[in-house]
């Protein structure tokens, strides 16, 4: 059955890792087309049967069952079903903070918008499940996200395209950005520089040198300052005790937290809270 769903309409949604805008499935009539047009989010089509063309810029791709194509935000694209063997495809539209990174890991980008999967019906199944989640009374969004991640993971595992960087600075910035992102996600836990370097996949000393070159401070110093900044925000909430704040920014020991906080801010957490209240 052909159907389509759409969800969400606010710019704040792009502050999440991934957000699904729409998904659906359609058996297109002969010669059915869309565009030329632009989208404000990422949109992937996967062809179950039939064939057609996909145009982006000056390039035309002739596609068939087992192919998929990516439309990136703000790209002018056009696609049309074949006149004799029109395609049946499914689609998923999404955006978010990590959308581009996930797609890059999967080997997809504006420069490489086409993929192929013909090994089995795994990807067919992912798209059918995402579309059928529309009918669930509960848990539809969870189902859609689950299969979107499974789909992207499958392409990532099959991606043989090597990551290339145009310069040493680009390579350095990629590692530094991954470090910053890891800290933002995990600062509430008892993480160490060793844990961060293991996640990024570089030697601790080498990663630290890249980080210091880019930001002028060590990873450890940045982590401390990041936690203290978060603590300052939490201290404005007077329902939280100093111990609550301490544990919430990755310091199980409130005394150690207070010592570190004072070394950065020049005052204790209690004094900071009082001055913020009085100002």
> Binning pLDDT at 50, 70 and 90, where does residue 264 land?
very high
Residue 201 has a pLDDT of 85
Q: What is the maximum span of the chain, computed from C-alpha positions, in angstroms?
A: 76
> Binning pLDDT at 50, 70 and 90, where does residue 32 land?
very high
Tell me the whole-structure pTM to 2 decimals: 0.60
| Homologous superfamily (CATH) for 3-158 | Regulatory protein AraC (2.60.120.280)
- The CATH number corresponding to 166-279 among 1.10.579.10, 1.10.10.60, 1.10.760.10, 3.20.20.105 equals 1.10.10.60
Residue 185 has a pLDDT of 86
**Residue ranges per structural domain of the chain:** 3-158, 166-279
Is the pLDDT at 17 greater than 90, yes or no?
no
Range among 3-7, 130-134, 148-152 rated most confident: 148-152
Between 97 and 242, where is the model more confident? Answer: 242
Is the pLDDT at 40 greater than 80, yes or no?
yes
> Binning pLDDT at 50, 70 and 90, where does residue 10 land?
very low
Torsion of CA 107, 125, 20, 27, to 10 degrees: 100
pLDDT digits (tens, 9 = 90+) for 197-240: 988 888 999 999 999 999 999 999 999 999 999 999 999 999 99
Is the pLDDT at 88 greater than 70, yes or no?
yes
Residue 13 has a pLDDT of 47
Mean pLDDT is lowest, of 113-127, 131-145, 236-250, for 131-145
Residue 196 has a pLDDT of 92
Chain mean pLDDT for the chain:
88
> Binning pLDDT at 50, 70 and 90, where does residue 54 land?
very high
> Binning pLDDT at 50, 70 and 90, where does residue 137 land?
confident
Average pLDDT value for residue range 107-113: 91
Residues 39 and 22 sit within 8 Å (Cβ to Cβ): no
* SS3 category, 80: strand
**DSSP assigned state of 67:** E
Q: Tokens 């680009």, residue?
A: 170
How far the first Cα of the chain sits from its last, in Å, is 62
Is the pLDDT at 179 greater than 50, yes or no?
yes
Average pLDDT value for residue range 264-276: 93
* SS3 category, 246: helix
Residue 276 has a pLDDT of 84
Average pLDDT value for residue range 104-125: 92
Residue 178 has a pLDDT of 86
């Amino acid at each position: 059955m052909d159907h389509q769903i759409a969800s969400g309409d606010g710019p704040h949604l792009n502050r999440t890792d991934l957000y699904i805008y729409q998904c659906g499935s359609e058996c297109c009539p002969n010669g059915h087309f869309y565009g030329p047009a632009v989208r404000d989010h990422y949109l992937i089509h996967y062809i179950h049967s039939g064939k057609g063309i996909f145009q982006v810029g000056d390039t035309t791709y002739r596609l068939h069952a087992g192919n998929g194509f990516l439309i990136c935000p703000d790209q002018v694209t056009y696609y049309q079903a074949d006149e004799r063997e029109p395609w049946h495809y499914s689609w998923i539209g999404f955006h978010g903070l990590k959308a581009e990174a996930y797609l890059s890991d999967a080997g997809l980008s504006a420069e490489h918008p086409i993929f192929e999967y013909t090994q089995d019906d795994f990807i067919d199944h992912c798209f059918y499940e995402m579309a059928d989640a529309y009918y669930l009374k509960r848990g539809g969004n969870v189902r859609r996200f689950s299969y979107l991640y499974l789909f992207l993971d499958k392409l990532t595992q099959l991606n043989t395209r090597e990551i290339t960087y145009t310069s040493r600075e680009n390579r350095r910035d990629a590692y530094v950005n991954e470090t910053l992102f890891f800290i933002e996600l995990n600062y509430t836990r008892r993480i160490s520089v060793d844990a961060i370097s293991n996640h990024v996949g570089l030697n601790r000393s080498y990663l630290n040198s890249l980080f210091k070159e880019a930001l002028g401070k060590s990873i450890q110093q940045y982590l401390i300052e990041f936690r203290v900044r978060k603590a300052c925000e939490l201290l404005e909430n007077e329902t939280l005790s100093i111990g609550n704040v301490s544990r919430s920014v990755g310091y199980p020991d409130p005394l150690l937290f207070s010592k570190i906080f004072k070394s950065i801010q020049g005052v204790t957490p209690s004094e900071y809270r009082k001055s913020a209240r009085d100002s």
